[in-house]
C-alpha cells in the first residue's frame, strides 16, 4: 500500500497499529471466534473494554478524584445540548466565547435551553484570533469555550480565568498535550479528531455538580444516568469505544500527553516556520493564537494554485484543502500524524518556491 500523508480534519488519521488491531477485532475478538461487532455489550469481554477505555482516560489526563468519564453517542454537536441541559439552571444564565463555527453551534443550542450571553467574539475578523481582555460576569452558571478551533486554526494558549464553572469543547485538541482537568467542570470531545473513529463522544465531568439545574432532563441527555450505569445506560458505541481504548494504549506506550505535546509542538513549528519563511505562503490567523492541531494557510498569489495542488497530490498528501469558510489550505496535524508527513508537505512547499 502506498503511504498516504493524511492531513484530514476529521474523521482523520489514526495510528497504524490501532487500525491493525481494530481490524483484527472485527474478525476475531479476544480469540472468541466472534467479531467485536457481534457480541453483547454486557459480555465480560466488552465490559472490560469499556472499563479500560474509561480508566485510561483518567490515567492519561491525570483526572482527579470526583470526576467521571463516560462515552456517549451523538458527537460533540449533541454535547452542545448536553452541556447546557446539565448545567444551565432554571432562570440562570451562561456565558460563551465565540471563536468560530463550533463555538457558534454551542451558543445556538444553549440559547434553546436558557439565557446565554456571548461575552467575547472574534467574528469581526472571520475568527482569525482568540479574543482577549473580556470581562466574565459574576452571575453566570458557567463559562463555555472551545479550546481549539478546528476550522479556523486558532487555539487558546491558556485557560480562561473564572470563579464560575468552566465547560470546554475539547474535540480537536484533547490528548494533544497535558491539561489540568481540575480547572474544568465539564469537558466534552467528539472522538474523531484525536481519539478514534466517529461515533463516540467523551465526557469528563465533576460529578457533584450534576442534578442542580431545577429542570427535568430527558433521560438520555442526563449525564447522571449514564454515570450511574457506568456508561452502559443503553447500548454504547462498542466499536468506537474499543478503538478509543487502543488509541489510549498507543498514547501511553509513546510516553503519554507530555511526550505527545512535545512532538506536536515540533510538528507545528516545522510547518509554521515554512509558512513564515516561504514568500509564496502566508498564515491565516494571528501568530500568537495559532493552533498546533489545524494549520491554516493561503497562497499569496492564487496563480500558483494549480501547480501547488499538483505538487502535494504527487507527494501522496491527502486532505489539505481549506474549509469553505476560510479557503486556502488546512493541514490537520493531529496526534497520529508523524513528523515525517509534515516534512513531506514542507518539501512540496519548497518545491513550489523553486519551480514557480
Ligand X SMILES: *Cc1c(COP(=O)(O)O)cnc(C)c1O
Cα separation values, 191 from 174, 246, 278, 292, Å = 9, 13, 34, 18
Q: Per rule CB under 6 A, is residue 146 in the interface with ligand X?
A: yes
Stretch that binds ligand X, among 20-28, 42-50, 167-175, 227-235 (CB under 6 A): 167-175
Nearer to ligand X, 331 or 352 (CB): 331
By rule CB under 6 A, what string of x and - marks binding of each residue 72-111 to ligand X? Answer: ---xxx------------------------x---------
Stretch that binds ligand X, among 64-72, 164-172, 320-328, 341-349 (CB under 6 A): 164-172
d(CA 177, CA 55): 18
User: What is the chain's length?
Assistant: 356
Nearer to ligand X, 121 or 150 (CB): 150
160 within 8 A of 99, measured Cβ to Cβ? no
d(CA 35, CA 32): 8
d(CA 202, CA 100): 21
Nearer to ligand X, 102 or 281 (CB): 102
By CB under 6 A, the residues from 179 to 238 that bind ligand X are 190, 193
d(CA 128, CA 298): 13
Q: Which of 121, 117, 124, 179 is closest to 142 using CA atoms? A: 117
Active site (annotated) includes residue 173: no
Q: Per rule CB under 6 A, is residue 160 in the interface with ligand X?
A: no
Active site (annotated) includes residue 102: yes
Least distance from C-beta 83 to ligand X, angstroms? 11
Question: Cα-flanking dihedrals φ and ψ of residue 47, to 5°?
Answer: -55, -35
Q: Per rule CB under 6 A, is residue 11 in the interface with ligand X?
A: no
The residues that touch ligand X, with contacts defined as CB under 6 A, are 10, 75-77, 102, 146, 150, 169, 171-172, 190, 193
Amino acid at each position: 500500500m502506498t503511504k498516504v500523508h493524511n492531513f484530514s480534519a476529521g474523521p482523520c488519521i489514526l495510528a497504524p497499529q490501532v487500525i491493525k488491531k481494530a481490524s483484527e477485532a472485527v474478525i476475531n475478538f479476544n480469540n472468541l471466534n466472534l467479531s467485536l461487532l457481534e457480541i453483547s455489550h454486557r459480555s465480560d469481554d466488552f465490559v472490560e473494554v469499556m472499563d479500560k477505555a474509561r480508566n485510561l482516560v483518567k490515567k492519561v489526563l491525570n483526572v482527579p478524584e470526583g470526576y467521571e468519564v463516560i462515552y456517549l453517542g451523538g458527537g460533540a454537536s449533541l454535547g452542545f445540548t448536553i452541556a447546557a441541559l446539565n448545567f444551565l439552571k432554571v432562570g440562570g444564565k451562561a456565558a460563551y466565547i465565540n471563536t468560530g463555527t463550533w463555538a457558534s453551534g454551542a451558543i445556538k443550542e444553549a440559547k434553546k435551553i436558557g439565557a446565554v450571553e456571548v461575552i467575547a467574539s472574534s467574528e469581526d475578523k472571520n475568527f482569525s484570533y482568540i479574543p482577549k481582555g473580556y470581562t466574565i460576569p459574576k452571575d453566570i452558571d458557567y463559562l463555555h469555550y472551545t479550546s481549539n478551533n478546528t476550522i479556523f486554526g486558532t487555539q487558546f494558549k491558556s485557560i480562561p480565568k473564572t470563579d464560575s464553572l468552566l465547560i470546554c469543547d475539547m474535540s480537536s485538541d484533547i490528548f494533544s498535550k497535558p491539561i489540568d482537568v481540575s480547572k474544568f467542570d465539564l469537558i466534552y470531545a467528539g472522538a474523531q479528531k484525536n481519539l478514534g473513529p466517529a461515533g463516540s463522544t467523551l465526557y469528563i465531568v465533576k460529578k457533584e455538580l450534576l442534578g442542580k439545574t431545577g429542570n427535568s432532563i430527558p433521560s438520555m441527555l442526563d449525564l447522571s444516568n449514564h454515570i450511574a450505569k457506568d456508561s452502559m445506560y443503553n447500548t454504547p458505541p462498542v466499536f468506537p469505544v474499543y478503538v478509543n481504548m487502543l488509541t489510549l494504549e498507543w498514547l501511553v506506550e509513546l510516553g503519554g500527553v507530555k511526550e505527545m505535546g512535545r512532538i506536536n509542538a515540533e510538528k507545528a513549528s516545522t510547518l509554521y516556520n515554512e509558512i513564515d519563511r516561504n514568500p509564496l505562503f502566508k498564515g491565516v490567523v494571528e501568530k500568537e493564537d495559532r493552533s498546533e492541531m489545524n494549520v491554516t494557510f493561503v497562497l499569496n498569489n492564487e496563480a500558483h494554485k494549480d501547480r501547488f495542488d499538483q505538487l502535494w497530490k504527487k507527494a501522496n498528501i491527502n486532505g489539505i484543502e481549506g474549509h469553505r469558510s476560510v479557503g486556502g489550505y488546512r493541514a490537520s496535524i493531529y496526534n497520529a500524524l508523524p513528523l515525517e508527513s509534515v516534512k513531506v508537505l514542507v518539501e512540496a512547499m519548497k518545491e513550489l518556491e523553486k519551480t514557480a
